[in-house]
Amino acid sequence: MTPATASPGTGVARWLAFLGLAGCALVLWSALCSVPGLYWNPPRLAPAYALAAGLDIYATRASAAHLGWHYGPVFPLWSLPAAFVPQITLSFIVWALLHLGALFLSAWLVLRRLGTPGLLSGAIAGVLFIGQAYTQSMLYLVHVDTLCVAFGFASAWLAHGALADARPRLLPWAALCAVLAPWTKQLGVAVPLAVFLWLWWTGRRDLAGRFFFWCVVWGGVTGMLFFAVFGAENLAFNLWLIHARTPFRGGWTLLLPETGRLLLENWVWLAAFAAAWIFPTARESVPRTSLAALLWFLALAHLPLGISAVLKEGGGWNSLHTQYYLLPLLAGLLVRVAALPRGRLLLAAIFLASFMQAAWLLHRQGTVWTPYRGQEDFLAEARAQAGRVYFPWNPLLTIITERRVYPFDNALFCLTQAGLEPRHETVRATVPPSPLIIYHEPVQGHFALRYFPEKMNPAARPR
């Protein structure tokens, strides 16, 4: 991908950039307000609070104190500063900004290196980001995918700098980011593979060899460190065995309708690709040594892993990192199209379509526009009932009030699906005797109640 031949930074394009960034800022604000109230976020923040309290975040089958953290330790370590924020609502907001900031900064660096004008390319990428369900959800539900993709972008940016700018001293840092990606989420193993193959494909096998060497070095250093801190058996159980034994939800009969749903949610992106393709500038060849080629390598390397994750029990399209690496390519393409007189009209139409889709998504999920403060009430309730209450879908509350890990509902479900269910008496012994069990609705399920049949009622049955 080559730089735009004409600057679109004036006139209509400037106004489009301003409106695009303003719209993105509005959605981001709604997301920060909503993050504390979305039921998947407290259990994702809980491991950071557990680390801050000196508690184990990885447990084996013999223990029932499962937080359900079946990914690498990098995400909770990155989240650690939020655990020291004394006000819980603000803690959630800081946590979201830590991860979104990593994603936005790394994506911005990639966009700049693609050779596109920064303001407009950032606005285009942001507008497309909020106009697609799975990418927009990363603003509201703080996914582990957010940080994993950020490391992928950072590794690509550094590796391309090492090649294009003849700065091989960047390779160790590119390798470090590449190694941290799978330590964030296992699917990130595609990052070092894609970067290595791209360097080899460019003909710079010397750089490919050095990159491989540093991946081995960083992999050994981080592996020994994490095994020493968290325990080799605990990491192997949570990061490999559970995932290896988790059953598939289905095969082709599931993939076909799921793909149809993905395409339907991506209609704005598909329309943008199709509309931009009518311009000859969109059909230029991509040089092997370009960052665009590296992003294609990353997108393709993640494709089989993302699809397999979707087919697994509990998987979803957020695991398809391919779409995130295609976003800068589409943004760069539209910037070049916007440099043409007719292209600006097309860009305005794409902005309008994306804003309409974003508005529909916000309406569908029922977002809020002032900071959700319900966690403050839940925390007060937990303090008043300390040593007696069990919140199966919010282990964060007990970690804060009692410095203990109670079983996370979804963790028990995942262990059972993998054939690794802990003993019922072990689960019951982990929580207070005859606990007051509270689910703050809505939640995804009531699986933990199967361990307390005396607490079950028709309105709260395990899935």
pLDDT for 463 = 43
Q: What is d(CA 28, CA 410) in angstroms, rounded to the nearest whole number?
A: 28
pLDDT for 234 = 94
434 DSSP assignment:
S
Q: What is d(CA 97, CA 87) in angstroms, rounded to the nearest whole number?
A: 15
What does the radius of gyration of the chain's CA atoms come to, in whole angstroms?
Answer: 23
Contact 255, 317 (CB under 8 A): no
Residues of the chain with pLDDT under 70: 1-11, 116-117, 281-283, 455-463
Which amino acid is present at 84? F
Largest CA distance in the chain: 72
Q: What is d(CA 376, CA 356) in angstroms, rounded to the nearest whole number?
A: 34
Residue 248, strand partner residues:
312
- Residue-wise pLDDT for 29-48, tens only, equals 999 999 999 999 999 999 99
Contacts by 368-372 with C-beta closer than 8 Å and gap 24+? 368/30, 368/33, 368/34, 368/37, 369/29, 369/30, 369/33, 370/33, 371/32, 371/33, 371/36, 371/89, 371/93, 372/33, 372/34, 372/35, 372/36, 372/37, 372/89
Dihedral angle at the C-alpha atoms of 70, 71, 75, 80, nearest 10 degrees?
30
Nearest Cα to 125, choosing from 194, 275, 260, 23?
23
Alpha carbon 294 to chain centroid, angstroms: 20
Q: What is d(CA 254, CA 152) in angstroms, rounded to the nearest whole number?
A: 29
pLDDT for 169 = 93
Residue 312, strand partner residues:
248
